[in-house]
Amino acid sequence: MIFRSLVVIPVLGLLAIQGFAQTEQMPKQRPGREVCLSASEVQDTFFAYLLGIIISGVDLDVDNEQLRAILTEFKPTLLVPFNQIIRVGQHIVPGTGERAIGLSFLTDMDIPIPFSVLFYHPGRIIADRSLVFQVRRSTYIDPGSAGGPVAVFDLVLARGGILIDIDDWLEALFRAHLEDTWIQHIVFFKWHGDWIGLLEGTGRRTPRVFRSFFDFTRNSVLFPVPAELDKLGRVLVPDTAPGL
C-alpha cells in the first residue's frame, strides 16, 4: 500500500497544471498573482496559483512565457516538468455552463515519476499531449472545521489519457496492492484546515479502484491515510466504473 500511495500522488505535480490544446477557442486573459492562495494555505507556488484560478473560476489562456512572468520566483516543490507545458487554460463550455480546464505539452509525455522511494523512481508517468478536465463543484461538511460547507473541486478527465506505469518488478512483487493506474479524477478540497489533493483511477489490468491523497498545505504525502479521510474520499469520488 505504501508504494501505491507514494507512486500515484506525485502525478499531481504533473496533472494539476491544466490547459488547452492550441486549437481551443479561449479568451486571451491572464489573471495575475492576486488570485494566488497564500503560502500558509499552499506551499507550492504554482499550485497556489492554480487553486486560485480554479476557486475564482476566472477565464484563462496563458503560455509558458506568460506563466513565468506571473510566477517570477517559481520554485516547484513537486518537480513539475514546467518546461514541457506550452499552454494552460480555463473557460466555460458553450451550451453547458460548466467550466473546463486543461493543458498542452510539447509532445506526448513519458517521464519518470517525479518522486523517489529510497532514491529509486518506481515507474513512469505517461500522458497525452493534450489533456482537458471538466470542473465539477460541490460542497461537504467538514467535522474538523468550525465553518460552513467546504467547497470541493473535482477535475474529471474529459479528453486524453493519463497512466501511472509502475515498473514491472514492483508490480509483480506487490501485485495485491499495486497496479498500473488510469487516472480519472483529480480532486481539491480542504480537510481540517489543509488543502488536500485526491487522485482516483482504475487499474490497467483489473477494475480495482485506487485513491491517494496529498496535503498541499504541509506539502506531504498522506500515508497512512486517516480512516476519516479515506471514507470522505469514497464519498467525494465514488468508485469509477470499469472501462470509463
Whole-number pLDDT of residue 147: 77
Say what the pLDDT of residue 129 is.
94
Query: What number of other Cβ atoms are within 10 A of residue 62's Cβ?
Result: 22
Q: What is the pLDDT of residue 240?
A: 60
Q: Rounded to whole angstroms, how far apart are CA atoms 192 and 229?
A: 10
Contact 51, 188 (CB under 8 A): yes
Give the pTM. 0.81
Distance in angstroms (rounded) separating the CA atoms of residues 112 and 204:
18
- Contact partners, residue 141, CB within 8 Å, separation at least 6: 148, 149, 150
State the DSSP code for 82. G
Parts of the chain with a pLDDT under 70: 1-30, 73-80, 114-121, 240-244
Task: State pLDDT tens for residues 94-149.
Answer: 888 889 999 899 899 888 775 555 556 678 889 999 999 999 999 998 877 777 89
Would you tell me how many other CB atoms lie within 10 Å of the CB of residue 182?
A: 17
Query: Looking at residue 50, what is its pLDDT?
Result: 86
pLDDT the model gives residue 234 = 93
pLDDT recorded at residue 29: 54
All three cell numbers of 232: 470522505
Give me the pLDDT at residue 159, please.
95
State residue 30's pLDDT score. 65
**What pLDDT is attached to residue 176?**
78
- Any long-range contacts for 205-209 (C-beta under 8 Å, 24+ apart)? 205/179, 205/180, 206/179, 207/242, 207/243, 208/179, 209/239, 209/240
